[in-house]
Amino acid sequence: MGVTHSRQLSDLFGLSYSQIILMVADDMACNPRNPRPATVFNNANQHINVYGDDVEVDYRGYEVTVENFVRLLTGRLPPGTPRSKQLLTDEGSNVVVYLTGHGGDGFLKFQDSEEWLLWILLCRYHEMFFMIDTCQAASLYEKFYSPNILAVASSLVGEDSLSHHVDPAIGVYIIDRYTYYALDFLERVEPDSTKTMGEFLAVCPKRVCISTVGVRKDLFRRDPHKVLITDFFGSLRPVELTLSGLNVTALSRTQHQSRRYLSTDSNSMYQKELLKLPAHKPHIIHSDTSSHNADIMALIMHETFSMPLPFDAGIANPLVPC
Amino acid sequence: MKAVLNTFACIVLFLHSSFCVTSVPSKDYFDEELLLKPLPSGHIYAYFQFTTVWDVEFEVTSFHHCHLFPRALGEIVGHYNVQELHISLTGGLWRHETWGYPVHDAAPGAELWAWFKESTTSIDKTWKELAGALSGLLCASLNFIDSSNSLSPEFTFRPTGIVSSPAANSSYLRYATLPREIVCTENLTPWKKLLPCDAKKGLSTLLNAGHIHNTNYHSLGLHLRPVCRDVGCSQMSVELRQTVSLVYDMVILGNGNQDWSIKKLFGIGLSGACPLATMSNIYIDTTLNETGAHFQLSPTPPAIITSTRGGYESKFAVYDVKALDIDGMFNIAAFYSSSRVYGVNLPPVLYTNRYIIGYGQERGGIVTKLHNGHWKALDVVYLENIPWFMPLYLHTLKILANGQEIKPLILMDMTLTGQTINSYAYDGMLKELRKHFKPVRPHKNPAEMLLQHDKATHKFEDSGSHHKIWVDGVNPSTLQPQSSTFRSPLVSSRQGCYMQHKVSD
Amino acid sequence: MENLIYLEYAVAGIIRYWLLNSDYKQTIGDRVEISTPLNSWRKVTEGAYLYNEGINPYVGDNFHETPLGLTVFDKMISHIPQWIGIIFIVCDLVTAHVLYHTAQIFMSELVEKDKYAKDTEALLLKQSDLVLPPVYVASAYLFNPYIIFSCVGQTTTVFANLCLAFTFLLMIKGHRLACCSVLALATLQSLYPATLLVPASIYLAQAERTSSLEGRQSLRASSFILTAVTFIAALLLLLYISSELAGGWEFLHATYGFILNVPDLRPNVGLFWYFFTEMFENFRLLFIYAFQINAALLYLVPLTLRLHGEPMLLAASLTALMAVFKSYPSLGDVGFYLALLPMWKHLFNYMQQGFVVGCFFLITSVMGPIVWHLWIYSRSANANFYFGVTLAFATAQIFLVTDILFAYIKREFSLYHGLHREVNGKTTKLVLE
């Protein structure tokens, strides 16, 4: 459920499906057990259908494997892979990765026969934000060493992440606690909000999440309390219109905001965008419709409430998923 | 002087614009149709057909300037040298015995077959890439299709579009099914985006995921083929048909009430036709009005047409949406005056049942029963696609008709393709079994085919998961009508009709 | 004694005939312990059927007999289907008879020994000891339930055992060409008997030594080379004939490729299937190599070095180890080497684990079908149960082989160093270090 909630959110912030890659391992919406087909609700009462009418799932069913996930993040997909299945990020992209499912100390479960140990090296991103909502989620970010990664986990090592509430009509738990409160926070944020990532990281204190939320910010060079949440979850920037040509120079790293300039000349109108880049590299990018300033590729994955394997650690009750 | 110049400028501008007008891209037109047919069993069959016909040669360069034709699909088709393409994504089983024949039959799961142009080299590679591209287009796992689970059936399929030579070379045909594939909103969304009006106007606004997937049978289809532009067939056009077949269970939906309406079925009324459509019609099959439960349509249909086909007469109420003066939301409702009547349906000419026999995980058998409702014997070409984890024993094949055993005659062609066993067990060795035999005598006892097999499910037994066996559907085919819109074959009576239907267990 | 043998043949034939015509035939033939993908008659029928329909039976995964076997079996199935059961029974009886003769010759060899310690008369074999073991060998083959089931189930292991038995006989008789031909035939069918070339070479060299009147003590190297060359030539000839019959060489992939690569992981009494079901794909090649070397080559050199003076024991040990470690063993293979054991009846006193081994055999033979049923039909067990039983069975066989070899060593030691051993006045016990 968490997966489609986050997707819904990203939708609110003006992200199109071309910027989101959704991996859903199990069919929930059109599952024969679902009494209301093609719908997934985030809350037993609210009745917001997070599956929506325009959802596009890029990897589903048995395509959600460790190999495909790693290939997607590292960009080493087989030739001929359609664009909708590629990450297509570059050095200026901010990437959000949201993972949820069953997990344990140092691994995340994929399907019923695989697990993923987080050792991959991601290429081509500017800043990355990892949100992990599984049991012992903090163990997944402990081994990061790449720069510019901010990670938040719903539970520390040795703790279970718990679900929020059950829908008695379906008989499964609808949403996890951390995702519920994170969603709640993000739903109340406007596109021009000044809320910071620091506030987002503190969204679920122990008294509501029961598990302790862990944060890894030593690899992130900025202070999360000074980073706007829209850097990751939105793509709108203040726009200044000008009719004259501009000399564009690289911005230094300390500047928070990037500017988008529109300039017209006699033949065409094109946009010049500046990104937050290393100082030695002046960079002008002609934007096409798919790569905005903060290229946000929300990478989402979901695991199902299937029976755990005997060797899965940290899963006590299959009905209360991590 | 100024006036002369002005006039001259006007004339020049006029000529310029008329040149622009004459150098328009090729002509294309788009039709949308909806058929609603109450079935004798109390279900409602809804069939949408969106047809785009584009008067252009089927070349890759044609697809660079698309108008109504979806460019995303055009680029794929042009790049991979496709002559004809059929995709269907289906959930549910079509009950031929009680529901008759649908307009387009589709096996459960994903089904994909394509005829490639004769200039194509390395067809297997192109096929795999085509499947991958289509999987990105339709958000389905079609990328699991490759040479190890694809077939080139020789007899079962014929090109439905125009061909350059009468003998179709089946080495240019590739057919694959993925019975385990689900169809849900994520498939409907990109499918709708291929329509000229997207889902904003016209009949496609009725396709709401929450309603159309709440059905006993739902199938999305995409069929592309070259057709003749005119009667003389001197030039060709490209025809794209996007179809949705749905079977609603009115007992569940109606909550006890057997009245139905467009709003009840689709959740919303119709606000108007698609402005880009040349024809936008709704047909309601009122044949049952005389024999079964009587219903009254509201508003009264402006036209009723009668169709005779294969000896059966059907009556259709036709609503031309473009001609209607719609204020707000247009809704067609059917009100039943009598209590619920479950009609007895005459089973169609050929229908099939399949089931698995045996117990335990070691071995089993598949029995296929073919029922012939025709008054004389039928020749049946039977195509079966068996996954690698059910190794078949062909020598155990036994066909019984009327209690006597008959041997599959004429030609028995079995092709075993590929052999890659990976841990997810779909790719692998498949067997395609084709028999051409003359069994099946009228009514009474169905012909039975029994085939024994082993089960090699131990490969994924030990991973702890519980996998069901998904066996692909079977294609018994006899002879198929062809025309662009549903309306045209309404008055036709031909001797032989090639018909193919898909069955699964 | 001859009458006894013929009586035994008759009784064994009757038992087999009765079972063949009873309702149990199909059940027995379907059991995984008896029929493996390599020797199953069902697959042979399927292959013959495909062949007759004009479809290449080697494409796909259902047929693994050599083209030679395909041709022979096809002829059998199409022309004399009602006699097929009788053919299997006759082959079994012939195999028993061949083993009987082999045992007779072997026992007569054992009597002629020299230079033993002075108080070992009790250990030496006497003429009277020569009479019974061959009968026991024949009986062990005829009345072993494993062999009976293998015959009734119509597995091609019957023919493989026939070839192996002839190999033993011709080996011990010293007929080089015939021996190598039959060995090539056995290798053609299941590849692993190639290791028997070593004991065969030793025997043939010994036969040459005794037949040449020069009285040399060492075996001539040229004999070995000649044997090897004959074998390879025979094998190549058979392969060539097979390729001519099959119209190509792709049958190699379906037969030897299948044996070596183990793609079909249907459970059987071997050890391969479970390992390869559980392991990750990228380690597969490594383990294939490891397992196949273990099955074929690993024990060849050490055993040869130790047992070069006893080529029959070497051959029997290799056969036993082959039956345990090959990729698709069946009970027919196990029954074959068990039938050879009575030839070393004189070693039975020295065996220490007879009771344990016997119990293991009995229990696993009973437990196997039970846990199979629980796993496959009741769905209440899983592969681990069946593999546990299989593992115990393999362990039992290994115990048996090592026990026999150790008994042989102990007896040899006693022969050369006397029965009574005393160190510092205390009685000693032999231990293996």
- Average pLDDT for B30-34: 93
| Length of chain A measured in residues | 322
**pLDDT at B342 exceeding the cut of 90:** no
Task: Identify the residue whose tokens are 């500047």.
Answer: A255
The residue range of the domain holding C213 is 2-427
Q: Compare CB distances from C281 to B423, B429, B456 and report the shortest one's residue.
A: B423
- The answer to whether residue C433 sits within a structural domain is no
Same domain, B303 and B413: no
Residue C59 makes CB contacts below 8 A (sequence gap 6+) with B416, C250
Rounded alpha-carbon distances, angstroms, from residue C68 to C75, C80, C94, C259, C262: 11, 18, 21, 17, 22
The Cα of B93 is separated from the nearest Cα of chain C by a number of Å equal to 29
The Cα of A249 is separated from the nearest Cα of chain B by a number of Å equal to 38
Which of A55, A109, A309 would you mutate first to test chain B, the one with the most B CBs within 10 A?
A55
**pLDDT at B244 exceeding the cut of 90:** yes
Query: pLDDT class for B369, splitting at 50, 70, 90?
Result: confident
Q: Decide: A142 and A57 in contact? Cβ < 8 Å.
A: no
CATH number of the domain bearing residue B454: 2.60.40
Q: Which of A62-71, A103-112, B50-59, C299-308 has the highest mean pLDDT?
A: C299-308
Q: Compare CB distances from B190 to A30, A52, A56 and report the shortest one's residue.
A: A56
Q: Decide: C348 and C407 in contact? Cβ < 8 Å.
A: yes
- The answer to whether residue A320 sits within a structural domain is no
Which of B396, B427, B458, B468 would you mutate first to test chain C, the one with the most C CBs within 10 A?
B458
Same domain, B171 and B196: yes
Q: Strands, DSSP E only, in C185-262? A: none
| Length of chain C measured in residues | 433
Lowest-confidence segment of B418-427, C126-135, C161-170, C405-414 by average pLDDT: B418-427
Per-residue model confidence (pLDDT) at position C287: 92
3-class DSSP assignment, residue B178: strand
pLDDT, averaged across chain A: 67
3-class DSSP assignment, residue A152: strand
- The answer to whether residue B472 sits within a structural domain is yes
Q: Regarding predicted confidence, which is higher, C192 or B118?
A: C192
Counting as contact any 3 or more CB pairs under 8 A, the partners of B are A, C
Residue B373 makes CB contacts below 8 A (sequence gap 6+) with B346, B347, B348, B349, B350, B351, B442, B443
Same domain, B155 and B73: yes
Which of C36, C58, C61 would you mutate first to test chain B, the one with the most B CBs within 10 A?
C61
Q: Strands, DSSP E only, in chain A? A: 20-24, 59-60, 94-100, 103-104, 107-110, 114-116, 127-133, 149-153, 163-167, 172-176, 214-216, 239-241, 260-264, 269-273, 285-286, 296-302
- Angle value at C-alpha B126, between B122 and B129, nearest 5 degrees: 150
Give me the DSSP letters along A18-31: GGEEEEESS--TT-
Contact A113 B423 (CB under 8 A): yes
- Angle value at C-alpha A264, between A262 and A266, nearest 5 degrees: 165
- The answer to whether residue A170 sits within a structural domain is yes
- Average pLDDT for B64-83: 88
Residue C344's identity, in one-letter code, is W
The residue range of the domain holding B469 is 350-481
Per-residue model confidence (pLDDT) at position B347: 78
Angle between helices C84-111 and C2-20 in degrees, nearest 10:
150
Last residue of a domain, one of B304, B336, B368: B336
**pLDDT at C272 exceeding the cut of 50:** yes
Same domain, B375 and B319: no
- The answer to whether residue A129 sits within a structural domain is yes
- Measured between CB atoms, does A112 come within 8 Å of chain B? yes
Q: Torsion over CA of B423, B425, B426 and B427, rounded to 10 degrees? A: 60
CATH number of the domain bearing residue A287: 3.40.50.1460
Same domain, B312 and B367: no
Same domain, B206 and B296: yes
Number of domains making up chain B = 2
Sign of the alpha-carbon dihedral angle for C100, C105, C106, C112: positive
- Measured between CB atoms, does A318 come within 8 Å of chain B? no
- Average pLDDT for A160-173: 80
The residue range of the domain holding A151 is 2-314
Number of domains making up chain A = 1
Same domain, B322 and B405: no
Whole-angstrom Cα distance, residue A152 to residue A141?
A: 8
Structure tokens at B365: 């058998």
Q: Compare CB distances from A29 to B140, B141, B185 and report the shortest one's residue.
A: B185
Whole-angstrom Cα distance, residue B502 to residue B449?
A: 16
- The answer to whether residue A211 sits within a structural domain is yes
Which residues in chain A have Cβ-Cβ distances shorter than 8 Å to B208?
Answer: 53
* Tens of pLDDT, residues B461-493: 333 333 444 555 555 554 322 334 444 433 333
Sheet of B333-336, strand order: B260-261, B333-336, B295-298
Task: Identify the residue whose tokens are 């590679």.
Answer: B125
The Cα of A50 is separated from the nearest Cα of chain B by a number of Å equal to 12
3-state secondary structure B15-54: HHHHHHHHCCCCCEEEEEEEEEEECCCCEEEEEEEEEEEE
Which residues in chain C have Cβ-Cβ distances shorter than 8 Å to B423?
Answer: 281
Angle between helices C157-173 and C84-111 in degrees, nearest 10:
30
Give residue ranges of C with CB < 8 Å to any B CB: 30, 32, 42, 45-46, 48-50, 53, 55, 59-62, 263-267, 273, 277-278, 281, 375-377, 379, 382-383
Ramachandran assignment for C215, one of left (phi > 0), alpha (psi -120 to 50 degrees), beta (any other): left
- The answer to whether residue A322 sits within a structural domain is no
* Tens of pLDDT, residues C233-251: 999 999 999 999 988 888 8
Contact B416 C60 (CB under 8 A): yes
* Predicted complex ipTM: 0.78
- The answer to whether residue A321 sits within a structural domain is no
Which pTM was predicted?
0.77
Q: How far is CA B68 from the centre of its chain?
A: 21
- Average pLDDT for A307-314: 26
Per-residue model confidence (pLDDT) at position C122: 63
How many other C-beta atoms lie within 10 A of the C-beta of residue B3?
7
Q: Which active-site residues of A does the annotation give?
A: 102, 135
**pLDDT at B142 exceeding the cut of 60:** yes
Per-residue model confidence (pLDDT) at position B247: 95
Per-residue model confidence (pLDDT) at position C3: 86
Whole-angstrom Cα distance, residue A85 to residue B132?
A: 10
* Tens of pLDDT, residues A245-275: 667 665 544 443 333 333 333 222 222 232 2
Per-residue model confidence (pLDDT) at position A158: 85
Last residue of a domain, one of B336, B367, B388: B336
Query: pLDDT class for A207, splitting at 50, 70, 90?
Result: confident
Kindly report whether the peptide bond that precedes residue B299 is cis, defined as omega within 30 degrees of 0: yes
Number of domains making up chain C = 1
